Structure formats: C-alpha cells, structure tokens
Structure 1
Amino acid sequence: MQNRVLVLDKNRQPLMPCHPARARELLREGKAAVFRRFPFTVILKHREGGDKQELTEKLDPGSKTTGMVLVALFARRGPTAIWAAELEHRGAAIRKSLEQRCGHRRHRRGNLRYREPRFDNRTRPEGWLPPSLQHRVDTTLTWVARCCRWAPVTRLSQELVKFDLQAMQNPEISGTEYQQGTLFGYEVKEYLLEKWGRTCVYCDAENMPLEVDHIHPKGNGGTDRVSNLAVACRDCNQEKSQQPLDLFLKTGKGRRRRMQANAKAFAGKDAKKIARRKIHEETRLQRIRSQAKAPLKDAAAVNSTRWALYTALQQTELPVETGSGGRTKWNRSQQRYPKAHWIDAACAGTSGATVRLNPNHRPMQIGAKGHGERQRARLDKNGFPVGHKTVTKFSWGFQTGDMVMAVVPNGKFAGTHLGRVAIRARPSFALSTAAFEKPFDVHPKYMTILHRSDGYVYN
C-alpha cells in the first residue's frame, strides 16, 4: 500500500523505482544514501545504469486537485501503478488575494485623490491565462518535470477534458464516436454529479445511486439539454414522472421526507432555526431553477487550462496520450475501482482500460503553498499600511516552509512532531502538523530539518 521508492544511479540518472523493503536493505548495507525525503528518493553509491521497463506518467488535472500516478508495464503483471500522488492547488487563494488587492487599490484611488485617466496600453500575450488558472498549469508541469527527473518516464498520459460541454449541449453533433454511444452518458452524468454535489436535488439524499432526471418533463416539451437535467434518487425520480417541478415540490413524498428529517434534526432547537429551515425549503424551487442554468465553475476552469497543459506536455518531446473524463469513468467503473484523484489518473485514456492497482494504496499528498510574498507592509481593511514585516529570511538556519522534526522534551506538546515551520523574529517558531488543528510554538533548538522549503507541503 506504499509508494515505490525512486532510485538514482551514481550519476543521478533515474532507474526503475524499487520496493521500500529493498530501499531499506540498500540503506542498511551502505550501498545507497537518501537523496530526497519528499518524494522519498535514494541514490546508489556505486551502480551506474540498469534495466528499465516502460514507465508512463498519467495525469488527471482538476480545478482543485490533480492526480498523478506512475504506471509501469511489467512483463508478467502488465500495467501496474507503482507510485501515486495528489497535488492540491492554491488557485482559490490566489484569486482571493488578487480580489483583495484590487479592492484596496480601488479604495485608495477613489477616496484619496483624483488622477487623470491614462491610456490603457496594456496588452495580454497570446494564450494568456488568469494567475489562478496559470498556477494550475505551472504546478502540474513542475511535478511532471520532477517525475521525469527522478524516474525513467517514457510516455505521458493526460485526461484532456473533464467534460465535453459542446457535446453535452448538442448530443446530435457528428464526428465523434463516444457522443452517440455509451461514453456520452458517462460524460453527462459525471458532469451532473459534480454540478449538483452528488445529492438528490429534491430530497437531499446522498451516498446512494442517483439517476438523471428532466427538470421540465420531456413528455411536456422538455429537452435533453444539460440545463434541463438534474440528479435525483430513484424514489423521487419515479414519483415525479411527468409532474411539473413546482407541483412536485409541494405535494411529493420528497417534501414529506425532508420535513421528517428536519423535524428529527431540529428537535429541541429554537424556533428561529426552524423558521430559517422552512424559508430554505420554500426557496428550493428558485435554487433548482437558477442552479440548472448556472455553469459548473470547476469544469470551466479545467476546460480553460486543458490545452495550455497539453501544449506544454508536448514540448517535453515524449509521446502524449489523451482521453476524456467519460473514458476515465468508463475504465474505472469497468474495473470496479473506487473514485479517487489518483485512481482517475491511472484510468485515464485507452491505456487505463486494463491497469492494475491496489485501491488501498496511500498516495503522497502534496499541497501547494507558494514561496511567500513580496509584500512587506501589513495593511488594514482599507489598504493602508499599519506595520512592516521583517526582512529576515533565515533564522537559526531555518526558513518558513521547511519540513522539520521537532522533539519537544516537556510541556503540553511533549513528544516527536513532523510538520512545516514558520519562522519569527524571536526564537519561538510556529509548527504546523497534521495532528493539531492550529500551529503551536516550538524553540528552534528542538528542531531538525528534514526537507528544505520548495513551495509545497507533504503528507
């Protein structure tokens, strides 16, 4: 259930990843040394070159998380996933920061002084993407390059498109085979599950099989457009049948089930919360109608970056395989694998139809944190400076973002902790670990560096 250990020869050329037990044996016998902690990589002291199998790096790009997996083509076992990771992007944080900076700038220009308008001569280069979207492409390419540097990757595979929006809006479009076959249904349903949060839109049921339902019944003139489709449990779908949406929400069993669930959930609670819940139920009709026409932001983000990523992967001069999200889900369901980002990456493209993996495999979790900020002044809510940050980047040999091991001898946090450190001007650094929700203070004399800051946090 563990990732294979990446291996380099004495000239730092990548070899085939080995089993963790074999890596421990090499380290114990002194034949190898630790080259990198995250991902764990060893370098051989005397060996040069070696036999290599075909190794494919497969990607499942997402708006929030990108799945990555290395699939080796073994002679006896066939395609097998030997290393997996899930990369969490920080596009939402970048967008929030840019919006805050824009608000501060707008406030200062509108309330302090008048400035003559300037001629807008700022032009965007061809292929320009917003910073929050460009970040997704850049971080994914960074890890593609790292995997190619530490493993003998011979091919690349990418899920080129999450949802084919054009095909879903016009199913009769010709020229693509899957739009008329089974994969078209997978493309549409996966989109609807993501859009409606994988819950029944009529009774909020979840963790159960959901079916595609026409909001405006097809027998009454409804169309097959995605804006007229939703997901519902079997009971609600069968009961609604040809009823109009407003009539079903007032008289259907789904309403009674929701009211019974609300009565149990709000038993013994004050009347204000119950009243707010009733108002929420009354607005369900408006919410369904408005959300039905709203596009899925995550799908738009993925579709905006797919070709930029594909073009960059082609520049690596390695063969690049592509596949749609419908093909990925088809491969995963046929092999009865659970849904996960790294499993979707392994099942991407036609090569994912027969891939061997352990569903209990523990992928490495990678979180993008950035390399700090250039802003030196702390701002108030109106964008005016209220203080300045220290210019010190290193303190006691540490810098913010280092992965450290802290052995605290006594106190509330006594014990051994692994986490990410944030330096301060005083010798009391903040340590963030997975075991505690909030960072806690640790003196740097109790810390040992495991991995230097590279803009990511690992688990």
Structure 2
Amino acid sequence: MHILVLDKRKKPLMPCHPARARELLREGRARVHRMVPFTIRLVDRLQADSVLQPLRLKLDPGSRTTGLALVREKETVDISTGEIIRTITVLMLLELKHRGHAIRDALTSRRAFRRRRRGNLRYRPARFNNRTRKDGWLAPSLQHRVDTTLAWVKRLMRWAPVMALSQELVRFDTQAMQNPEISGTEYQQGTLLGYEVREYLLEKWGRECVYCGAEHTPLEIDHIHPRSKGGSDRVSNLTVSCHDCNQAKGNRPLEQFLAKHPERIRKILAQAKAPLRDAAAVNSTRWALFQRLKATNLPVEVASGGRTKYNRHRLHISKEHCLDAVCVGHVDAIKNWQQPVLSIKATGRGSYQRTRLTKYGFPRGYLTRSKSAFGFQTGDMVKAVVTKGKKAGIYLGRVAIRASGSFNIQTGNGLAQHIHHRFCTLVQRGDGYGYNLTLLHPALNHGVAEAGEY
C-alpha cells in the first residue's frame, strides 16, 4: 500500500512507496501527518515544485460495504489496431463498512418506544402525519451510505491528486450505455453476453441452488418452465441451480420435479415474479451518490455491475469489494492489486442519548454527562504499554473510556479489558471510524487474512 504525501502547505502530492516514506522520515524531510491512513507531510517542498500524475478514485457502492480503489492509469495506443489500452496500477485499496442497519434498528426501536408512550400516557399529545419531505429525501439509513461514501471521497481528494472518478452506477444492463445505438443480435451477443443476466440471477436468488439450497458451488442457469414445454428466456422464467439438480430436473416442469415439496414450489414461483430485493433502495442510493459526485466538478465515469464482473473474470482478479472497485469501467490490464486492504468501519461519534431504557422505553440508568475522561474519548486510537501484571504487553487499538479510568481497548487480536489510563498514549483522535488492516491471500488468490486493527 502506497503512503499518502502532502506538501508543507498540506496540498496533495503523489503517493510514494513505504520505503521512500521511511527514508524521508529518517532524513527529517517529512513529518507524520496522520496515522491511519498513514500520511506524511514534507517540510521542504511545495505542490508547484512537483510533477503530479492524474489519479483516479474508483467506487463500487454496496448495501453493507463500499469498495474504493485509488489507482494510477496509463493509456497507450495499440499500433496494430489503433485501440486505446488503459493499464491500471493500484496504489491503495479500501473497504468502507456502513452502519445503515444499526441506524435502521435504532430508529425502529425509538419509534416503538414513542408510539407506546404516546398511546398509553395521556400527557403525550397525538402526533399527526402532516409533515412534508423535500425532493430527493432518503431514509436516514440510506442517506448514511451516501454521506459516509462522499466523506471518504472528499478525504482522499484532500490527501491525493485525484483528477477523475469512476462509479458502478447501475447493477445491471448498461451495455447500451456504452453504445446507445447497439441493438438486436449485436446487443444480445456482445462482449457482456451472459454476465448481466447471470449476475442478476445470482443476486436475486441469494447465490444458492433454489432446489436443494446448496451454497459455495458452481451454479447454472435453469428454466423454471422448460423451453421444450413452451417456456421463454425471460429473466422471470430463469433461476439458478447446481449441476446435479439441473440434470435431475431435465425438461420436467417444476411442479413435477418438486411434487413432494409444495412449499418450495410456492416460494420459487413467488420469488420468480418478485423484483430483486432492495433493488429500489440500492439504486436510489447509487443515483443520489452519483449526483453528489458530479457536484465535485470532476469527470465521473460510470459502468455496470456486469462489466465489473466481466473485467474481473477476464483479468483473473479475486472477488472482493475493493477489487470490484478496481475493475469498474474501462480496464484492459491491472497491476499491483495484491496488496493490503484498509478496512474502514463506520462506528459513529457516540449518542445523544444519556440513559439506558427498559423494554417499555423508560429510563433505567443514566450515563455520564461528559464524553471524555482523563484526556481520552471513546473512539480514540491509543497505544497502551503495560509493563507489569497479568495485562503486561503492548496494545494498539480503539479505546472505550470509563469515568473510573479503567479502559477497554479493541485490538486486532481481541478486546483488552481494564487497562488503566496511565498506560495509554494518544495516537489519533477518534473520527467516527474504526480501522483494520487486512491482507489479500496471494496463494489462494481469494479471501482475507487479518493483520491487525488500528
């Protein structure tokens, strides 16, 4: 992973190799500006004295996790064909984990408490549903995804010379977006043949065999109503199944193949007619994010999920959110993609609620009014060096404070409890996020091995 670099006026310069950053720090030409993501600030250079290469920030928005990739791109012309070849060099991989589900659950609980108090207690006046919402309103759990993603886009724009953006705008079927005139056989048999439909079906049916429920196995496209019996190729008549179930079903109707499982038949038929779950919410979030990205006045490249998967399979890239971001848009070759990934988890900055509630919504305990103790706040990154006792060791991670001075530290190896504040040293103030460095396994070409939390 490259190191972010700023000039002495905190303007972004080109990221450098970690070895180069260590050399600059050792020579006294740089200072540590930020620990995570690690950023240095030069003391003897200005942006005007440096040569900057245009960087591109790529995004793969998701419901729970958004992948981000900071890349340097180089375009060359193939002399034989005259085509432009875009080579991507990965500088930094990030995965942003949203807390939209926690926000949704908190709002649901608060709404239930208020409804109970308003319905059972006379002093709570009725609340009328006569409020209006402005155009483009999103639920708080969805707006959170847009806001946190845009916040990190702006952060990376402050720390690196980002000149362009790429976003996976729509999940399916935008081959026509690349060439609006494409139609007929050329559209059906284009380079993305099968990728759009297959990805849609995998998302719709939960990436498991609809007949036996098998997971983590290669899935094949199957016709619910066989083509030999008059079935069509419409996506509403398609599903996914494992090879054994596909062969066992053959050209038999669904009702005959699952005659002993009527409940599964009803579930499959209902799911076949239903649209993709959460598609409207995810698409509205993507479009809202797209409008916010355009407001940055940077060129925004858009692409589909089918093209992302096509690029990933063609270039033999493993399946990760951050690597999906690398494969967004026009990509011909990718370099340096096997590198550590900075996992960013949105944790929030605390709560205004200063009480614990019973199941009926009434206070049962009061929290301290001060959010800081002994110079620390919950969420700060600290380093604790315990010299003696059962807790002897070095702990680096996110701290949870207590007024008694006995803190908990969440590290990459687990939770360290009851660490006294006098052993703690502040590393970085809490910013509402937790950080964890992970490694892409080079041998298995997929999966993540934990390397430590920061």
Task: Please indicate, yes or no, whether the TM-score normalized by the shorter chain is above 0.5.
Answer: yes
The match for 2:371 among 387, 393, 404 is 393
- The Cα shift of 1:203 comes to 2.8
Question: Aligned partners of 1:439 and 1:95: how far apart in 2?
Answer: 30
Question: Aligned partners of 1:425 and 1:196: how far apart in 2?
Answer: 49
Choose 282-291 or 11-20, whichever is displaced more.
282-291
- Match of 2:68? 68
Secondary structure, counterpart of 1:297 in structure 2: coil
Paired residues for 1:320-335 under 5 Å:
320-335=300-315
Question: Aligned partners of 1:176 and 1:69: how far apart in 2?
Answer: 35
Secondary structure, counterpart of 1:86 in structure 2: strand
- The Cα shift of 1:94 comes to 0.6
Q: Please give the per-residue CA displacement for 1:250-285, whole angstroms capped at 9, x wherever unaligned.
A: 58xxxxxxxxxxxxxxxxxxxxxxxxxxxxx77443
- The Cα shift of 1:27 comes to 0.8
Question: Aligned partners of 1:243 and 1:440: how far apart in 2?
Answer: 60
Secondary structure, counterpart of 2:258 in structure 1: helix
- The Cα shift of 1:321 comes to 0.5
- The Cα shift of 1:302 comes to 2.0
Q: Please give the per-residue CA displacement for 1:133-179, whole angstroms capped at 9, x wherever unaligned.
A: 000000000000000000000111111112359x9xxxxx9699856
- Match of 2:41? 43
Distance 1:217 1:379, change over 3 A: same
Matched, 1:452 2:432: no
Distance 1:179 1:302, change over 3 A: farther
- The Cα shift of 1:11 comes to 1.1
- Could you list the runs of 5+ residues in structure 1 that have no partner in the other structure? 168-172, 252-280
Q: Please give the per-residue CA displacement for 1:49-92, whole angstroms capped at 9, x wherever unaligned.
A: 21111210110011111110111135899421111100000111
Question: Aligned partners of 2:423 and 2:206: how far apart in 1?
Answer: 45
Paired residues for 1:10-159 under 5 Å:
10-49=8-47, 50-74=50-74, 78-113=87-122, 117=126, 119-159=128-168
- Match of 1:268? none
Question: Aligned partners of 1:86 and 1:118: how far apart in 2?
Answer: 41
Contact kept? 1:403, 1:418, Cα under 8 Å:
yes
Contact kept? 2:13, 2:161, Cα under 8 Å:
yes
The aligned amino acid for 1:308 is A
The aligned amino acid for 2:69 is V
The aligned amino acid for 2:312 is R
Q: Please give the per-residue CA displacement for 1:87-112, whole angstroms capped at 9, x wherever unaligned.
A: 00011111111111111111111222
Q: Please report the TM-score for the alignment, with normalisation by the length of structure 2.
A: 0.86
Distance 1:375 1:164, change over 3 A: farther
Q: CA RMSD in A?
A: 2.6
Matched, 1:415 2:393: yes
Distance 1:94 1:118, change over 3 A: closer
Whose helix fraction is larger, Structure 1's or Structure 2's? 1
Contact kept? 2:58, 2:165, Cα under 8 Å:
yes
Question: Aligned partners of 2:221 and 2:339: how far apart in 1?
Answer: 32
- The Cα shift of 1:118 comes to 5.3
The percentage of counterpart residues that share the same residue type is 59
Q: Please give the per-residue CA displacement for 1:382-439, whole angstroms capped at 9, x wherever unaligned.
A: 1111122111111111001011122233455432122111111211112222212x55
Contact kept? 1:161, 1:302, Cα under 8 Å:
no
Choose 371-380 or 183-192, whichever is displaced more.
183-192
Paired residues for 1:38-437 under 5 Å:
38-49=36-47, 50-74=50-74, 78-113=87-122, 117=126, 119-164=128-173, 181-183=190-192, 185-249=194-258, 283-350=263-330, 352-358=331-337, 360-436=338-414
Q: Please report the TM-score for the alignment, with normalisation by the length of structure 1.
A: 0.85
The aligned amino acid for 1:320 is V
The aligned amino acid for 1:24 is R
Whose strand fraction is larger, Structure 1's or Structure 2's? 2
Question: Aligned partners of 1:44 and 1:112: how far apart in 2?
Answer: 63
Question: Aligned partners of 1:124 and 1:180: how far apart in 2?
Answer: 44
Secondary structure, counterpart of 2:207 in structure 1: coil
Question: Aligned partners of 2:120 and 2:229: how far apart in 1?
Answer: 56
Question: Aligned partners of 2:348 and 2:92: how far apart in 1?
Answer: 24
The aligned amino acid for 1:51 is V
- Could you list the runs of 5+ residues in structure 2 that have no partner in the other structure? 77-85, 177-181, 437-454
The aligned amino acid for 2:137 is W
Choose 206-215 or 179-188, whichever is displaced more.
179-188
Contact kept? 1:63, 1:299, Cα under 8 Å:
no
Q: When the two structures are aligned, how many residues end up with a matched partner?
A: 420
Secondary structure, counterpart of 2:375 in structure 1: coil
Distance 1:335 1:208, change over 3 A: same
Question: Aligned partners of 1:95 and 1:54: how far apart in 2?
Answer: 39
Question: Aligned partners of 1:175 and 1:246: how far apart in 2?
Answer: 34
Contact kept? 1:196, 1:230, Cα under 8 Å:
yes
Contact kept? 2:118, 2:126, Cα under 8 Å:
no
Question: Aligned partners of 1:443 and 1:303: how far apart in 2?
Answer: 47
Question: Aligned partners of 2:379 and 2:386: how far apart in 1?
Answer: 19
- The Cα shift of 1:381 comes to 0.7
Contact kept? 1:184, 1:326, Cα under 8 Å:
no
Distance 1:97 1:118, change over 3 A: closer
